[in-house]
Amino acid sequence: MEPAPHPGWPAQLSWGPVELHPLRRRDAAEWSRLRTANESWLRPWEPTATQPWPVRHSPAAYRAMRRALARRARTGVTVPLAIRVEGRLAGQVTVDNIVRGAMRSGWLGYWIDRGVAGRGMGSLAVALVCDHAFGAMGLHRLQADIRPENEPSQRLVERLGFTREGVLRRYLDIDGEWRDHLAYALLADDLPGGALARWRSRAEP
């Protein structure tokens, strides 16, 4: 008998021009082109790796990553979703390291194509995932850890109601060095109307 899927997985979420869905096998070539084109935009925020960027972002690398994430998703420790903007692949948002029990928390990570950055599409995708995490997934807390130099990402989470809780010293090995990170968190009861409602209140005239 197949094990029951964990709460909130698989998921398809959408609002306006943004659609979120599980990573698809047929998106390997599109993902590879997108990541390769965004190397200079994404590299400063990516974990240190020994392989060159083109190798790590080949279609074969995507397929291996997708299989690994699918296995972890079935066990309930991650919810990885592709971001599509107006039908085109534009990034990814993931709730990872999900802990149940008394904590009911997850770590939020995301990246967005430079070509759509600045239009609010990344924050819309994150808002949809926050509401899903606090709804169907049954989580209480989401944490986003962001380098102090990454001001656009800080603004994104702050606009959605995340609270800065402190500094994590030399926290992650990113782009060749141990980097400090700012710890941000959002709790299920921080936004009674939900993250999407907050996004809409700030995005719409």
Residues 19, 175: Cα–Cα separation, whole Å: 30
Instruction: Select the more confidently predicted residue: 4 or 125.
Output: 125
3-state secondary structure of 70: helix
Q: What is the CATH code of the structural domain delimited by 13-203?
A: 3.40.630.30
Give the pLDDT confidence score for residue 205 in this predicted structure.
61
The amino acid at 117: A
- Stretch 22-43: mean pLDDT, rounded? 98
- 1 has pLDDT over 90: no
Give the pLDDT confidence score for residue 5 in this predicted structure.
62
For the stretch 143-173, pLDDT in tens is: 999 999 999 999 999 999 999 999 999 999 9
Residues 156, 152: Cα–Cα separation, whole Å: 6
- The DSSP secondary-structure symbol of 47 reads B
Residues 9, 60: Cα–Cα separation, whole Å: 25
Indicate the pTM of the whole model: 0.95
- Stretch 25-35: mean pLDDT, rounded? 98
